[in-house]
Structure 1
Amino acid sequence: MLRIAVQSKGRLYDDTMNLLAEADIKVSSSKRTLLVQASNFPLEVLFLRDDDIPQSVASGVADIGIVGENEYQERGENVQILSRLGFSKCRLSLAISKEVNYTGPQWFNGKRIATSYPNVLSKYLRQNGIKADIHVITGSVEISPGIGLADGIFDIVSSGSTLVSNNLREVEIVTHSEALLVGNWNLDDEKHQILNEMLFRFSAVRSAQDKKYVMMNAPKASVPEIIKVLPGIKSPTVIPLAEEGWCSVHTVLDEKRFWSIIAKLKDLGAQGILVTPIEKMIL
């Protein structure tokens, strides 16, 4: 049995539970239970505060954990990064009042900075030769400049709406963050086997994200040009149709490039273009 530490609430909790569900690992979503066992996979889920996850994995209370990179950097625990999961993306940034004339990082010399991430901030200040007074706050860091507690803040930024609502502006991005799967260094062979199966499932889920399965009918004479346009995983599948001179072409497209490619396909004579989402993709 493998034990994974997961954030007990918030966006990272939601994204993690969605990932487990898409990987067909069935876990009760009740937030009142500290430890829950999956019904169809040898996995126990331990729900913790996000800042407790790195230590729980390092100490062996949990075998693995999903945690924000911001907390991984701040805690500095001796755990290994097993995978970057690509969700819950944000950044750790310095922000100040909109009215202030900002002249660059050295503006923070002699200033007071409120933060919940003193270790990450201290490292940044040292690297840039800045001497500032760090005020450690747990909670609503963004209100600090407005009540005169600090000249600026160092905090998580996602959309930036919280900064705007508190009359702040982002002036320096110190580091980017995403969800990490971290692990204890001393997993036995049985737990490694379970972990490898989980990583395989996670990879299949991530590979399918933002991908579309596309099928179309096309004149046989246009197939060579159509194949040049299609950026398939290896090469498109081409199947002759009952109607002489026509083929069915199947491929996988990245959603970001979908519309520009579809327009080219139509110009080459493709018809009956069918687009379907991909749930899993094994590479």
Structure 2
Amino acid sequence: MVSATREPATVLAARDLVFGYEPDVPVLRGVSVQLTAGELLVVLGPNGAGKSTLLRCLAGLARPWSGSVQLAGDPLAELAPRERARRMAVVPQGLQRVPQVTVDDFVTAGRYAHLPPFARRTQADRAAVRRAIEQVDLAGRERASLTALSGGQLQRALVARALAQEPDVLLVDEPTNSLDLSHQLDVFELIAGLTCTGHGVLVVTHDLNLASQFGTRLLLMNDGAASAEGAPSEVLRPEVLVPVYGKRLQFGQLPAPHGEGTRPWVLPWGH
């Protein structure tokens, strides 16, 4: 008897989200999202499309005017902040560096969701912090100040703090801003690797080519709504992107990572 293939669990789902920062001016207009365990979902779109606002609503940092967000089937609005933080972590854009804060101190902050008020760190907390630091290749830099880190190392520290929360879901906002090309690849390789341990990861980015190389599935947004969704080969097509970004684009194909056929590339190119 052949057993049925088990579908990946849905770890985060949003339905028909509507939200705005000013009355009667919606920034999100009926957006729905589903994220499964072991998936890297990349949210793309031009400036002002609503990408980061969507992430804020999914994280519970902004309350939608209408629609719903569920974390593994539980309404997000009904979860206490600590419970939410145990199950979902946010990696924000950038960070103001504080000279007195070390990498170890910073990553340890990710354990506060697991600690009662005023409690000391346990052996389990220290082990979780150590694992997170090792996972992002910052071992040996625990005592370094945040101000001593490069841009790529700082982004890794942000990911480590999120991993220390031991969440099932990670929401990552523009992780490659201000990084050079090599560090952009490093950071996306790190984030994509988290799906191998069963995390559901949603990343907001402007970079179509990193999205193509690493994304399991892409969600293209435009003017506060979902414009297209699917595999990179389905979304990164002229008939999909030109109406959103304009005609000054060039398209091609490159070998996919790990010998998985090809994946599309897209470049802005003036005529």
Shorter-normalised TM-score: what interval?
under 0.3
Higher relative contact order at CA 8 Å, sep ≥6: structure 1 or structure 2? 2
Highest Rg: 1 or 2?
1
Q: Quick check: which one's strand share is greater?
A: 1
Question: So what's the TM-score if we normalise by structure 2?
Answer: 0.24
